[in-house]
Amino acid sequence: MIRRSFVAFIAFVAVALASFLTPVASPAVAASGSASVYIIHGIPGRDLGLKPRLPVDVAVNGACALKNFKFRDVVGPLSLPAGTYNIRISLANRHNPCGNPPVINADVPFKAGESATVIAHLSADGKPTASKFVNDLSPAKGAGNGPVIARHTAAVPAVDLLVRQNRKSPIIATLPNLKNGEQVRAELPIGQKFLVQFALAGTTHVVASARIEACAGEVAIYHAVGSLKNRTFTIIPLYIPLR
């Protein structure tokens, strides 16, 4: 897991877009394999006093690779040859894409052979950051079950995840003390919807909830983003085929 400042999170977003261009990587490095990368924009602009969808432009290796990458947008899977990419990021410019002064100019590496998700999100105290998660694509061990991953990337303190069939049913499972920037993996029966409640760690005080389900042949990944203070809390799902 990697965490960065707001400026650096944009660099992570840009890395994934290098696949749209010819990567700058030596033949020896490229031959070593590629990473499979998903990128998620999980910062509501409203939490920063900016436009709700917080659009940015991304230049990779000197070319404008993406315009108006916005909150809740998902890019991937992208195959990135192992190597380091030069990234320049700026606030979106509708009339001259990538024409604003860069907020960052950085060389960013990716390793070969990994499946990874990079998500820009808020820290527990509401500051912009980013996390890189390695995607566990192994199948569930129980017959009829599917893997589900929950990622805490919202401006909320540590939480206990309470899994129920519905609001009035008993708790099926408790996943305790999940902190911002952390993830937890579980198995659930395929084809059934469950209610996950976010309760402040060590209490029964539920601050948010979401519906989730396990899927056949896929890992279902749910990213909690946004804040309770500004009512931007939401779930961004990602479904990836199992290996």
Rounded to two decimals, what is the model's pTM? 0.80
Quick: pLDDT tens for 169-187.
Answer: 999 999 999 999 999 999 9
User: Scanning the structure block, which residue is given the tokens 């996390």?
Assistant: 131
Higher per-residue confidence, 97 vs 127: 97
Contact 88, 59 (CB under 8 A): yes
Same domain for 124 and 162? no
Same domain for 127 and 177? no
Q: CATH number for the domain including 179?
A: 2.60.40.180
Same domain for 26 and 117? yes
C-alpha span between 20 and 214 (Å, rounded):
32
Instruction: Give the containing element (helix H, strand E) for 60.
Output: strand 56-60
Q: CATH number for the domain including 110?
A: 2.60.40
Question: Which pLDDT belongs to residue 88?
Answer: 66
Domain residues for the domain of 114 are: 6-134
Contact 236, 72 (CB under 8 A): yes
Same domain for 126 and 83? yes
Structural domain total, the chain = 2
* Alpha carbon separation from 80 to 52, 58, 70, 228, 242 (Å, rounded): 30, 16, 22, 35, 19
> How high is the mean pLDDT of the chain?
82
